[in-house]
Structure 1
Amino acid sequence: MTLVRWNPWREIDTLQRQINNLFEDNRVPSGLVDRDFIKVPAAELKETDNAIYLKLELPGIDAKDLDIQVTEDAVHISGERKSETKTEENGTTKTEFYYGKFQRVIPLSARIQNTNVSADYKDGILHLTLPKTEKEKNKVVKVNL
């Protein structure tokens, strides 16, 4: 039996890596009963004076399997990535792909005209253009010093 010197910094490094992995991951808990995680799509928001541009990463999902609902202050997206069924006589299949349903609500920083939203879905990337309401476009806030 060999003796190994205990290094407390190694424990801290391990904890730091675990915390970093937690913040880099796109998974959210699916509930308290089952300890599984549900993968949610990555999102990117860009805001200009006239509109909010939302881009979502949805690879492998058909447009018909997406449900997008837009309110004045949030975007609700749900969908399902269906698994491909293959039969193999010999061998084992291991996968890191997530198959199943997902749901995500993205709150918006300004009120939008939800009747004038335009969408484009190409190569697994969903682009939404969310025009702001006239009140939000012309909103000027005076700051007193």
Structure 2
Amino acid sequence: MALVRLEPFREIDTLQREMNRLFDDWFIPTTRRENGMTFAPAAEIEETEDAINLRLEISGMEAKDLDVQVMAEAVSISGERKAETRTEEKGIFRSEFRYGHFQRVIPLPVRINNQNVQAEYKDGVLRLTLPKVEAEKNKVVKVNLG
């Protein structure tokens, strides 16, 4: 009989990640479900001293098909990827690309100055530079140790 080492914290961590994914998919309005499939662009966020840098992978779309709205505490990106209509010779068409409307709302870790946002869309990657408000740049929090 083989002994199996019980690691309860690893199991709890796995359970927590799965529960977070479940709640994100069902209760947070970051994506829209179409035919049981979820299409949401992958995102990467980086915080520097002066700004929040946000990158989203939205390949196969043109800039005119995207709607980007920046609030002081969140960014909303929506758009629609349209299917190309083609007719095959034998009447069979297969597509593995996802088409349809999507929306993703990304909460920001700090307040930003949404009047000075810089955006670039190149090679299917949307890059947003979101400058922090002055109060957030110089924000120092005193920690009470006792």
TM-score range, shorter chain: 0.7 to 0.9
Q: How many angstroms apart in 2 are the aligned matches of 1:85 and 1:91?
A: 12
Structure 1 residues without counterparts, runs of 5 or longer: 1-15
Q: How many angstroms apart in 2 are the aligned matches of 1:78 and 1:89?
A: 35
Q: How many angstroms apart in 2 are the aligned matches of 1:89 and 1:100?
A: 25
Q: How many angstroms apart in 2 are the aligned matches of 1:89 and 1:28?
A: 39
Q: How many matched pairs?
A: 121
Aligned residue number for residue 104 of structure 1? 104
Q: How many angstroms apart in 2 are the aligned matches of 1:68 and 1:90?
A: 41
After superposition, residues 119-134 of structure 1 pair within 5 angstroms as 119-134=119-134
Cα deviation 1:62-84 (Å, max 9, x = unaligned): 10000000000000000011111
Aligned residue number for residue 144 of structure 1? 144
Equivalent residues of 2:53, 2:127 under 8 A apart: yes
Residue 92 of structure 1 deviates from its aligned partner by 2.0
Aligned residue number for residue 51 of structure 1? 51
Equivalent residues of 2:87, 2:93 under 8 A apart: no
Amino acid at match of 1:90: K
Normalised to the residue count of structure 2, the TM-score between the two structures is 0.76
Structure 2 residues without counterparts, runs of 5 or longer: 1-13, 27-31
Identity between Structure 1 and Structure 2 (%)? 59
Equivalent residues of 1:83, 1:99 under 8 A apart: yes
Cα deviation 1:70-106 (Å, max 9, x = unaligned): 0000000000111111122215222221011100000
Normalised to the residue count of structure 1, the TM-score between the two structures is 0.76
Residue 38 of structure 1 deviates from its aligned partner by 2.4
Compare CA radii of gyration and give the structure with the larger one: 1
